[in-house]
């Protein structure tokens, strides 16, 4: 490939790059590109868990299917379904508005809606656990603040298809990992 060909590829990638909440994004939104981003998000969570001594899951892999997005293996050697989704201000993605502060009520409402939507659909037989992984790179969502907000909050599961849920934040150089919070689910 000529240097002009490579420059065209780089220009195209830069044009498609997100300007808001880019940490977990991947410019290639084709099925294979989406799978790379979702598996990478799961790997970020597992690396963060391992860093603090919680090696509960291993062998992350993209399924190549629409549902679930990824699979992992739990400490008992059983398959785990992992659905990956994003907590993001869609208006700020469009570049029409600036990133904004989220109120506590907005955070709880958005997370509840995400959990409710993902809990509606069963993951099928053969999985020991069904995990929801919500990632965010929202500028104004501080992990310490969100952890305090969520400490005593339980998210209602209407369909009981999910067994665990995690909220993972962009990489923190201070921590040397992506901070995360395990969301408390109530049947």
Which of 69, 49, 176 minimizes the C-alpha distance to 132? 69
Helix (H, G, I), strand (E, B) or coil at 55: coil
Cβ-proximal residues to 154 (8 Å cutoff; 6+ apart), any chain: 184, 185, 186
More confident residue, 100 or 72: 72
Residue 22's pLDDT band, with cuts at 50, 70 and 90, is low
Summarised one tens digit per residue, pLDDT across range 45-57 is: 999 999 999 999 9
The yes-or-no verdict on residue 14 having pLDDT over 60 is no
State the pTM of this model: 0.86
**Burial letters 56-70, b for 16+ CB under 10 A, else e:** ebeebebeeeeebbb
pLDDT in tens, 125-136: 789 999 999 999
pLDDT value at 95 more than 90: no
Cα distance between residue 151 and residue 133, in whole Å: 18
Contact present, 81 and 127 (Cβ < 8 Å): yes
Q: What is the pLDDT of residues 39-86, one digit of tens each?
A: 999 999 999 999 999 999 999 999 988 889 999 999 999 999 999 999
Residue with tokens 């037989």: 125
Pick the range with the lowest mean pLDDT from 24-33, 94-103, 122-131. 24-33
Q: How confident is the model at residue 12 (pLDDT cuts 50, 70, 90)?
A: low
Distance CA 115, CA 49 (A): 21
Q: How many CA atoms lie within 13 A of 75 on its CB side?
A: 6
Compute the distance between CA of residue 74 and CA of residue 162 in angstroms, rounded to an integer.
Answer: 15
pLDDT tier, 94 (very low <50, low <70, confident <90, very high otherwise): low
- Please count the other Cβ atoms lying within 10 Å of the Cβ belonging to residue 124: 11
* pLDDT at residue 27 in the model: 53
Strands 180-186 and 79-86 come out as: unpaired
Q: Which helix (H) or strand (E) holds 166?
A: strand 164-169
Work out the percent of the chain whose per-residue pLDDT is above 90: 65
């Amino acid at each position: 490939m000529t240097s002009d060909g490579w420059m065209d590829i780089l220009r195209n990638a830069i044009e498609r790059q997100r300007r808001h909440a880019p940490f977990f994004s991947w410019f290639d939104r084709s099925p294979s590109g989406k799978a790379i981003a979702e598996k990478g998000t799961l790997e970020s969570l597992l690396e963060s868990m391992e860093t603090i001594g919680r090696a509960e899951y291993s062998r992350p892999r993209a399924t190549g299917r629409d549902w679930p997005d990824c699979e992992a293996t739990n400490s008992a050697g059983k398959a785990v379904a992992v659905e990956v989704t994003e907590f993001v201000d869609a208006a700020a993605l469009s570049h029409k508005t600036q990133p904004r502060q989220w109120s506590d009520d907005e955070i709880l409402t958005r997370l509840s809606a995400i959990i409710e939507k993902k809990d509606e659909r069963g993951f099928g037989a053969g999985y020991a656990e069904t995990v929801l992984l919500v990632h965010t790179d929202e500028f104004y969502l501080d992990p310490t603040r969100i952890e305090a907000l969520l400490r005593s909050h339980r998210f209602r599961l209407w369909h009981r298809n999910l067994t665990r849920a995690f909220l993972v934040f962009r990489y923190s150089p201070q921590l040397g990992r992506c901070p995360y919070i395990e969301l408390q689910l109530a049947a």
